[in-house]
Amino acid sequence: MKLASYDNGRRDGQLMLVSKDLTKAIAVPAIAHTMQQLIDAWDLLNPQLVELYDALNKGLMDNAVNFDESKCLSPLPRAYQWADGSAYVNHVELVRKARGAEMPETFWTDPLVYQGGSDCFIAPKADIPLASEEWGIDFESEIAVITDDVPMGVTADNAEKHIKLLMLVNDVSLRNLIPGELAKGFGFFQAKPSSSFSPVAVTPDELNDKWQDSKVHLPLITHLNSELFGRPNAGVDMTFNFSQLVSHVAKTRPLGAGAIIGSGTISNYDRSAGSSCLAETRMLETIADGKPSTSFMRFGDRVRIEMLDDENNSIFGSIDQQVVEYKV
């Protein structure tokens, strides 16, 4: 299935069932008003939605409307949990190499995760308001999963059954604020403002054989100011798959239905695929030339993040956002 949340003037939006080709949509208030209501009772409500989804794709729903990505909030406009990992250790390795720092061996065996703010996600087509270019504005193109209730201590072998939906992420980062925060030894906070998610969330079966081993085996495509920035394959060089990430996050606590777990920046050892964030490009420049030549984002810059199937059809719709100056 494919699902979205339309902006209806309420915090959690209106749950919409979206056709496979992203052309039609239908509200399903008799089943669930919001995405969170659906996730809370997934096993009960999912079969009903599957029947409607089949009818929608066959053109049998007379009350279907044209799907409009511009009306979408993030699929979960707010969530009880947003934990972002760093599953592509290649990316972390580059960060430390550019700083001349050694990387602990445990980074290859124990995932890194930070707790992100989840009370107010940015809509996928909305501007990203920030107060200063001096903060080092960056995008991070990622994938995330939404889970149902996950018991504490779940093993990686049992975690995949708790993954109900996938979506794309722009994990906005303020790179110049990170060093000062990390130096305090207490992690990110101001360096990680609100994130954005793709217009559409999809069940893993929508990806067919591209969903294997709890990984998405497709390129994640990023354009910066209409120019291709990178298209690394999300299934390549992923050190920790989503089942492992979910298991890691649930090691000492249960996860409530609607928890979002992110992959971290998609990164490949094959540099011809490009990058999924400006910081990685700057790191490669620093390693090669001693200093970066690519600037961070400026007000007016636009980033577009999308994933296509083998027939070049958009799977999740696109995150397409402009950075704008925020004035108090």
Measured CA to CA, the distance from residue 255 to residue 201 in angstroms comes to 19
Helices within 189-259 (DSSP H only): 242-249
Rounded average pLDDT per 10-residue block, the chain, 328 residues:
98 98 98 98 97 97 96 98 94 73 83 94 98 97 98 98 98 93 88 97 98 98 98 97 98 98 96 95 90 96 98 98 94
The pLDDT score that the predictor gives to residue 185 is: 87
pLDDT tens digit string along 190-233? 999 999 999 999 999 999 999 999 999 999 999 999 999 999 99
CB atoms within 10 A of CB 70: 11
CB atoms within 10 A of CB 140: 27
Nearest to 28 by CA among 74, 59, 65, 58: 65
pLDDT tens digit string along 230-241? 999 999 999 999
pLDDT tens digit string along 50-68? 999 999 999 999 999 999 9
The pLDDT score that the predictor gives to residue 98 is: 62
Q: How far is CA 245 from CA 80, 264, 272, in A?
A: 17, 11, 27
Measured CA to CA, the distance from residue 56 to residue 15 in angstroms comes to 15
The pLDDT score that the predictor gives to residue 248 is: 97
Write down how long the chain is: 328
The strand pair at 211-212 and 215-216 is best described as: antiparallel
The pLDDT score that the predictor gives to residue 99 is: 62
Q: How far is CA 265 from CA 14, 60, 76, 292, in A?
A: 29, 40, 20, 19
